[in-house]
Structure 1
Amino acid sequence: MIALQADHRRRPATVEEIVDSFLHIHNIPGAVLAYGPWRADPKIVAFGVSDPIQNTPMQPDQSFRLASLTKPIAARALIKAEERGQFDLERPIAELANLPPPFDPRSSQVTARQLLAHTGGVDKNVSYDPIFAPERLGLDLSASCPEVAQTVWETMPLDHAPNRKTAYSNVGFCLLSNLITSTPGMTVEHALQQVADIHLEGAVGPNWEFGIDGWTRVLDSEAEQNWLLGLGIAGGAIGTAEAIWSFASVPQPHFEATATHDENIDFYASGWHVWPEENGQHLTHWGGLQGIFTAIFRFSDGETIVILFNASPVDRGSAFASLHNAFYENNNVKR
């Protein structure tokens, strides 16, 4: 009995044990994990069920809504387009995307690269996130991400001067959508597919929420599906864990801090959350909406972990932090 209790209480020791423990702690019915080092085939593991009512087993090739995991994919697509000479990301987004005069004159100086690094001056913690409250702009859920962003551009002041502070911004990435669609011959989906096997429309597994009546499907109505599609490069893509692993496992450059007055040790660059280490950097990103939770971890030794869940923890930020800490410790132990 003592031995069994000790084994039950021990900390998860492998990537798969960490994910399995996370599912139980946060009451999530299922997930797909892809993990492994660069230049090797990833291990793909399906956990739990795709449908907790029908008890349908999760399949390793199930497609998921990616939410904000779309952002680093979109960032790489824009950087690749810059490398092809299609535009210069150091130029102001107002010039590149032919935007109208902004409400705040400082917005005219915001560059596309600053938007990729979340240093464009929009801060949801100071004002609010218009992507999730379009009614405050006189819009509704039928308004696309770029439409909401352009309305913000024309009607709201910046929360900070450009390039002074890192502040995660959905609006900033929505403005970058205009850069893609204003480029001749480029669509959002085509741009994303240049760098990852993902889509904006297509079959996708159900998302769930647990309440007093048990499990219910969420984000399932036509209006909600259209709203998710309208998120575009800020969060609208669909893909499998293996496809996201293939994208994320590719080596990335060493990133430099992006905001001149940002005192945080960690920062954003080219769509990634960058975490400096003594001998390098590791990269993360996560996405979350009602019934959706997704996460990428790429460590400095090339080990890459992607997890796509079919339900969301109550506190997504804290849940991601717990996963990050567990995987980071596990990665350091393996070294």
Structure 2
Amino acid sequence: MSPGDALPRFDVVCFPRHLFVLAGVFAAVLLAWTAPAHAGGERVVDDYRSVYGTPGVAAAVIDGSSVETILAGRDGNGAAVTARTPFRIASMSKSMTATAVMLLVERGRVSLDDPVVKVLPDFRMADPRFAGVTVRHLLSHTSGLSGSTNNEYVFPPPRAAQEIVAELADKTLAADPGTRAEYHNTNYSIAARIVEVLSGKSFDAFLHTELFTPLGMTGTGSTPGCSDGAEGLPSGYEVVLGVAVAVPEMPGMCVGNGGVISTLDDMVRWLRFNQGTLGADLLSARSLAELHTAQPKADGYALGWQARSVPADAPPSLIAHGGTLATWTGDMVFSPEKGVAALVLTNSGGDPSLLTANLLAERLGTPATPMSNPLTLVNAIVLGLTVVMAALLVTAIVRARRWAARRRAARRPWLVLRLVPLALVVVLGAVLPAQIWDPGGPLNLQYWIVTAWLMPLLALFSLTSCVLGAVALGRRLWLFRRAGDRLV
């Protein structure tokens, strides 16, 4: 329905002419005042979708008491995105986990500076420094837990917070607690377990009864696993070179760190709560401010939120958090001083922090950030390399008989050296998926699964190199041996 359709219809002959003119002028002024912001927000979202090929976006800009909503595209079932379409919000869930802990702090059940072992006796590690890890360290990612000593890409992944804590028994810390920051999802899974132990409820049940229901977030829930199904939740998308395919989410441990499923309507309520304009009786202003305050040695990370650097002509400060899974991304940001906020939920990969930045810039009249998708060029190059590699290896397979005959005829065949390039191609294909995520780290073939979800064309390149390279290598050796048998 257009704005005009909402107005009562009058007979122009009976309506006084001067009032008709005044009404027309008023309507024109009203449309001129309201349309640019709405059209501008839609344009910013359309630009983002064209750059990243995002199938569906739900976005909002909050300015005081007004909310501009922008909905575009489709969900994984092909339906139009609405303000009630469910999205996985990924690591934006951390702000809710930190708030759940803060609720328990206000109730006197725990202190932020309590050692974790005091409230969670089952927490054990093969490193005596673990006794110094506090609840604050977990929520600010300064516990010393690290991907270098605790691989989070394990398949099948642990499903429950209790299981995640138990699997730390043979792990070590990479740094003394409280001395440096490293973003590590396990911190928040431990925090979720603390909530479970102190409340006597499952983590999802605590969020539902103590946080989501009081705030009126009726379409919000959580799952322990990143790929767990939920009622009404459609699939997210993989987008490669502009082609979007609905696929399941990559398996992973999401309890406490990334398992919340929500809607645009509910996330607007969540931002309003954090701005202090909703649910004031749920958490004190002092505790809310603590959640948004950067912590010592945390490189700007607060408690489930982080301070986001901004250019000189942008709002004076921004509190934000993004979220990224293989098939879902999102971002939320607000300025405590300006009272404005932006929220983006998408059902594919991308960089939604660019979109929130430009939505705020459009509202505040500040310069926009140019948007580009570096993966477009990367994927094009990888696809080109895959085609070239496949062509070279198929040629090597087809010409293997001729190669074997020449090597047998040579006085010095240098067989091993001649096979080194093919062997290197096979090795490259096998190790590349692991080394790209953990350079210099140990070979972990489970990274193949991560690569297949996050960079499918790179997985295709590696698979092509491994399979066709091994076939070419094996065929050359087999035909070389057969050529020798015939000579005998």
Specify the TM-score bucket, using the shorter chain as the normaliser.
0.7 to 0.9
The CA deviation at 1:144 is 3.3
Matched, 1:110 2:133: yes
Matched, 1:187 2:224: no
- Contact 2:221–2:261 (CA<8 Å) still a contact in 1? yes
Q: Percent identity?
A: 19
In structure 2, how many angstroms separate the alpha carbons of the residues matched to 1:44 and 1:179? 36
In structure 2, how many angstroms separate the alpha carbons of the residues matched to 1:213 and 1:98? 50
Partner AA of 2:187 in structure 1: G
Correspondence for 1:207 among 215, 223, 236? 236
- Which runs of no fewer than 5 residues in structure 2 stay unpaired? 1-37, 223-229, 276-287, 368-488
Partner AA of 1:130 in structure 2: N
Structure with the higher fraction of residues in helix conformation: 2
- Contact 1:134–1:148 (CA<8 Å) still a contact in 2? no
Partner AA of 2:142 in structure 1: T
Show the counterpart of 2:151: 130
Q: What SS does the corresponding residue of 1:217 show, helix, strand or coil?
A: strand
The CA deviation at 1:37 is 2.4
In structure 1, how many angstroms separate the alpha carbons of the residues matched to 2:52 and 2:161? 30
- Contact 1:123–1:159 (CA<8 Å) still a contact in 2? yes
The higher relative CO (CA closer than 8 Å, separation ≥ 6) is in 1
In structure 1, how many angstroms separate the alpha carbons of the residues matched to 2:69 and 2:353? 23
In structure 1, how many angstroms separate the alpha carbons of the residues matched to 2:323 and 2:42? 20
Q: Residue by residue, what CA displacement relative to the aligned partner does 1:204-234 show, whole Å, maximum 9, x if unpaired?
A: 13211135895332226xxx6xx56x52221
TM-score, with normalisation over the residues of structure 1?
A: 0.78
Point out the structure with max Rg over C-alpha: 2
Partner AA of 2:179 in structure 1: R
In structure 2, how many angstroms separate the alpha carbons of the residues matched to 1:22 and 1:238? 23
Matched, 1:303 2:340: yes
Q: Residue by residue, what CA displacement relative to the aligned partner does 1:107-166 show, whole Å, maximum 9, x if unpaired?
A: 111111111111111233xx17633x225xxxx2354354234313x1221112111112
Correspondence for 1:88 among 111, 115, 119? 111
The CA deviation at 1:49 is 1.6
In structure 1, how many angstroms separate the alpha carbons of the residues matched to 2:119 and 2:359? 39
In structure 2, how many angstroms separate the alpha carbons of the residues matched to 1:256 and 1:50? 35
The CA deviation at 1:192 is 1.9
Q: What SS does the corresponding residue of 2:129 show, helix, strand or coil?
A: helix
In structure 2, how many angstroms separate the alpha carbons of the residues matched to 1:240 and 1:204? 10
In structure 2, how many angstroms separate the alpha carbons of the residues matched to 1:285 and 1:309? 15
Q: What SS does the corresponding residue of 1:284 show, helix, strand or coil?
A: strand
Structure with the higher fraction of residues in strand conformation: 1
- Which runs of no fewer than 5 residues in structure 1 stay unpaired? 1-11, 314-318
Matched, 1:20 2:46: yes
The CA deviation at 1:249 is 2.4
Partner AA of 1:180 in structure 2: V
Show the counterpart of 1:322: 354
Matches within 5 A, 1:1-335: 14-38=40-64, 40-51=65-76, 55-124=78-147, 127=148, 130-131=151-152, 133-135=153-155, 140-141=156-157, 143-152=159-168, 154-193=169-208, 194-196=210-212, 197=217, 198-200=220-222, 201-211=230-240, 214-219=243-248, 227=251, 231-250=254-273, 251=275, 252-253=288-289, 255-260=292-297, 264=299, 267-275=300-308, 281-300=317-336, 301-313=338-350, 319-323=351-355, 325-327=357-359, 329-330=361-362, 332-333=364-365
